[in-house]
Chain A
Amino acid sequence: MFQLNNDEKLIAKALGGSQRSWVSLVKRYERLVFNYCLRMTFNSSDAMDLMQEVFLATYRNLPSYRGQNQFKGWMMRIAANKTTDFLRARGRNPLHHAGEVSEESYQSPEIHHPASQHNDPAEQYKTEKNNQKIKQLLDKLPDDQKLVVELKFFQHFTFDEIGHQTGTSINTVKTRLYAALNKLKGYSEIQNVM
């Protein structure tokens, strides 16, 4: 509740022209949005671009935010729309290779920054391996199913909220999630056999 009120105050100040409030708001949610973008794009460079687009759209639409919902949900709706547009545009780009996520294609942003939270190289390797496994799994899914899995399992939104964010009905969301589970089920079985 405190966070919610704090969001509202920061938004009001940002709308009044306070850059410091807007930066505080961005800092509060940038990690969430960046990791979301990273899981959706599998590429830290694309994730940065997408994150900036999300925050730009959020900033531009901030005057239309009425405060009836949580800011996070409202912003993630913008993020979902931007992600859909981004993935669609990237899919049309002939230079983009829509193949499997490889170690080369995914580089953790922490590699480039010495201020990492894992000082132990072994721990860092394990972290990257886990993340890479998740990204490889998500890469098997079509964009619409991937978005639903992301919003359900990683953002922990309800079906109602996901339907609101993606502009689809709850039944469609459930169907997409079930289809995604079935698809991943087949992939897991192949992995287990191998």
Chain B
Amino acid sequence: MLCDHQLVIDHINDYVENKASPEIKQQLEIALQKCPDCQATYRQCLELYQMSHQWQSQAVPEWHRTSYAVRPPIRNTGWLNWGAMATSTLAILMVVFQLEITNNDSGLMISFGGNQTEAKIAKQVESQLAEYKTTQDQIFLTKLNTALEKQDNRTKLRLANWREKNRDERQQDIKFVMTGWQSQRYEDQQSADKRFAYIADNQIENNQAINELYQSVGSSHSSDEKSNRPNNL
């Protein structure tokens, strides 16, 4: 008889801890009596169970229980940092704009851009304005030339297009007139042919009528008519 290891797997812990039901307990005891493997498993389980109770709980070394949970305190030195930053910025701006504070007879004078008199500044402004004017003139001339060139090219192109278009239109008109004239001529020809044919037919009929007239008249004057009758009618 094969041993049901699954029974041991499922309930060996309950058996060792004395929590198994009487029925399971009886089945397990039968299995343990017959199967050496299950006996060894039981012994090992029992040994582990006993060992777990032999474990002596170790004290926890001292540690900071809230170091990860507590935010570091914010030092209230914000004003100091802001003050230092403002002072530094002011000093940098004073250097950049060349701030000068002088005390003369007319009083305290604050100036930017270094030690320059008004005449120097005016001269410098004038020279800069002249330079600016020259630059602007050059730019204006350049732009004007460019615009003129563009306009000239545009006009030439438009004229060439117009000539080309005009020539084509005239050719088309002549063709149209010629075609009309030819068709009209053809129609006139047709009409003349018809008239000629009509006249010829009338002439034949007239000749026949004359001949008949002659014949009717000639019954009395047959000898005279024969001598006077026209040929080939």
A residues near B (Cβ < 8 Å) are 19, 22-23, 26-27, 30-31, 34-35, 38-39, 44, 48, 51-52, 55-56, 59, 108-110, 112-113, 115-117, 127, 130-131, 133-134, 137, 149, 152-154, 174-175, 177-178, 181-182, 184-185, 188-189
Contacts and interface: CB of A to CB of B under 8 A. Distances in A.
A55 B60 CA distance: 14
B18 interface: no
Given A38-B58, A48-B61, A178-B41, A133 B51 contact: yes
Contacts of B211: none
A182 B66 CA distance: 43
B55 A184 contact: no
25 contacts: A27-B65, A30-B60, A31-B58, A31-B59, A34-B58, A48-B61, A51-B60, A52-B68, A56-B68, A59-B68, A110-B58, A113-B61, A113-B62, A131-B56, A133-B51, A134-B51, A134-B55, A153-B49, A153-B51, A153-B52, A174-B10, A175-B9, A178-B9, A185-B40, A188-B43
A35 B58 contact: yes
Nearest to B62: A113
Contact of A137 (B45, B51, B61, B70): B51
Given A178-B41, A181-B44, A182-B41, A39 B55 contact: yes
Contacts, number: 99
A59 B69 CA distance: 7
Give the residue among A51, A113, A178 with the most B Cβ atoms within 10 A. A178
Classify chain B's interface size.
Answer: 20 to 34
Nearest to A112: B61
Contacts of B152: none
B68 A34 contact: no
Interface in B25-80: 40-41, 43-45, 47-49, 51-52, 54-63, 65-66, 68-70
